[in-house]
Amino acid sequence: MNQPPSAGRGGTTWAIVITSAASFMAALDNLVVTTALPAIREDLGGALADLEWTVSAYTLTFAVLLLFGAALGDRFGRRRLFTIGLSIFTAASAGAALAPGIDSLIAARAVQGVGAAIMMPLALTLLTVAVPPARRGAALGVLGAVTGVAVASGPLIGGSLTEHISWQWIFWLNVPIGLVLLPLARLRLKESHAPDPRLDVPGTLLVSGGLFGVVYALVNGHTDGWTSAGVLTSATVGTALLLAFVRHGSVSRHPMLPMRLFRDRTFAGVNAASLLMFLGMFGSIFLLSQYMQSVLGYSPTEAGLRMLPWTGMPLLVAPLAGYFSDRIGGRPIVIASLTFQSLGLALFALVLEPGMSYAAMLPAQIVGGFGMALFFAPAASLVMSSVQPAEQGMASGANNALREVGGALGVASLGAVFAAQGGYGTPWTFTDGIVPALWIGAGAVAIGAVAAFLMDGRTNSTQDGIPSARTPARPTATV
């Protein structure tokens, strides 16, 4: 009998390669543009607010449309929507590289976020479907390693391409990769749907509007003022819409994200931990990459290279984390991950000062990088195994959306602490600002470790669609 394209060992390998490459592109574009902003300003012009939008336009559309992208995949086919999202992302990357002005660049970045929001959650779901349960943790470890490296190495890749070629190559890099992945995804990935899929249009509008309002306020609070009319209105309306989304998820018959999922301590705990982990990681990388350039005097490429003991650690450790999560469970590894990462940020805060040696910051980089590397694979496995197979698409979208919101919150909140306590004026004022910000980041990640500790330590809810002894079978629709 002929096997489907994704069946067997070869199909599993193709699924890992395709979803990892797509996830790398989507994750990379979170921070890849940050070190290119001076070159973009010199080439295209624009005020400071315009340059900030080249970063936040991608983050905002990515965050607010993740759940909708997952729901579309469940309804119309995950492989089909994955290729559509990949096509949008690839075309928008070319548009960004060809942008004649700052406004068109911002628009292209927003469209990139739309493509990534469709592509990213479906990559995780497609991989979960393609890999047998016994090897799922190791496969997710590879995906976690690639995603973690992409997020953390964005400043290095962006700085290197800008310094040695041009800022446009930050976006051109995605185009050949996307063109190669499109036919491979069509030929090598198996199509899948959620049973009895339904599009929740009211829920989509509520969560998209709510997340947009909250993230917009967080991104713009430090520039427009936290008490400005626009920021306060955005935060208030966004919060109200999110509360309405929570109520909708509790009473609707077919919500895109049933609130009953959060009654599961594992699902609730790993999502809280993910948000807080990205808060600390994004905000810290954003500030530390600038510290190395503004205070220590490194070029963008030199700064990225010197951060590799921290940012490159997922490539080495994340596959091992997935391997061991299959044997001892994801919960203890996630707790250890967040503990190490919090300790690493605390070590950074203790040693940073103007003129410090590179060797003095190595212990913090190694400890923090080891913790970050441990997180991705077991966290993804916990999310996917804490829900029924029919709910994995919405669970993946929710987890990715909360990570993006956590990243936006981290850049905004740690940036606000930095601005309140210091600034860019001198190396001493920069250090005065970054140290308390890092303490806030360390504290947030430590709270994430507490959330992980409160997860259910027993067997995960499902294995390959079969409920475990601790969790009775439950219907896919909310009553």
Residue 231 and residue 217 in contact, taking contact as beta carbons nearer than 8 Å: yes
- Output the CA torsion 89→93→94→100 (10° steps): 130
CB atoms within 10 A of CB 424: 13
Helix (H, G, I), strand (E, B) or coil at 387: coil
Q: What is the arithmetic mean of pLDDT over 157-174?
A: 86
8 — pLDDT class (breaks 50, 70, 90)? very low
Residue 313 and residue 340 in contact, taking contact as beta carbons nearer than 8 Å: no
Ordered alpha helix ranges (H), 258-357:
265-294, 300-306, 308-311, 313-328, 330-351
User: Which span out of 214-228, 230-244, 366-380 was modeled with the highest average pLDDT?
Assistant: 230-244
When mean pLDDT is compared across 5-14, 78-87, 99-108, 397-406, the lowest value belongs to 5-14
CA–CA gap between residue 339 and residue 63 (Å, rounded): 26
DSSP 32-96: TTGGGHHHHHHHH---HHHHHHHHHHHHHHHHHHHHHHHHHHHHH-HHHHHHHHHHHHHHHHHHH
Summarize pLDDT for 53-77 with one digit per residue, the tens.
777 788 778 877 877 787 788 788 8
Helix (H, G, I), strand (E, B) or coil at 430: helix
Per-residue pLDDT at 45 exceeds 80: no
Q: What is the arithmetic mean of pLDDT over 228-247?
A: 90
Name the phi and psi angles at 219, rounded to 5: -70, -35
Residues 6+ apart with CB under 8 A from 227: none
Nearest of 54, 102, 124 to residue 398 by alpha carbon = 124
When mean pLDDT is compared across 19-33, 188-202, 246-260, the lowest value belongs to 188-202
Summarize pLDDT for 388-431 with one digit per residue, the tens.
776 776 677 777 778 877 877 787 778 778 877 887 778 888 88
When mean pLDDT is compared across 29-33, 57-61, 73-77, 173-177, the lowest value belongs to 29-33
pLDDT of residue 441: 92
Crossing angle for the helix pair 392-421 and 358-385, to the nearest 10 degrees: 150
Residues 6+ apart with CB under 8 A from 151: 27, 28, 30, 31, 281, 282, 285
Helix (H, G, I), strand (E, B) or coil at 463: strand
47 — pLDDT class (breaks 50, 70, 90)? low
Give the side-chain half-sphere CA count within 13 A for 406: 23
CB atoms within 10 A of CB 309: 19
Per-residue pLDDT at 147 exceeds 50: yes
- pTM beyond 0.95: no
Average pLDDT, the chain: 79
Q: State the residue for tokens 């983050």.
A: 59
Query: To 5 degrees, how large is the angle CA 194–CA 195–CA 198?
Result: 75
CA 363 to chain centre: 25
Higher pLDDT, 4 or 446: 446
pLDDT of residue 237: 93
pLDDT of residue 152: 66
Both tokens of 80, joined, read 């089909």
Q: What is the arithmetic mean of pLDDT over 38-52?
A: 69
Residue 280 and residue 449 in contact, taking contact as beta carbons nearer than 8 Å: no
pLDDT of residue 437: 92
Crossing angle for the helix pair 102-130 and 8-28, to the nearest 10 degrees: 150
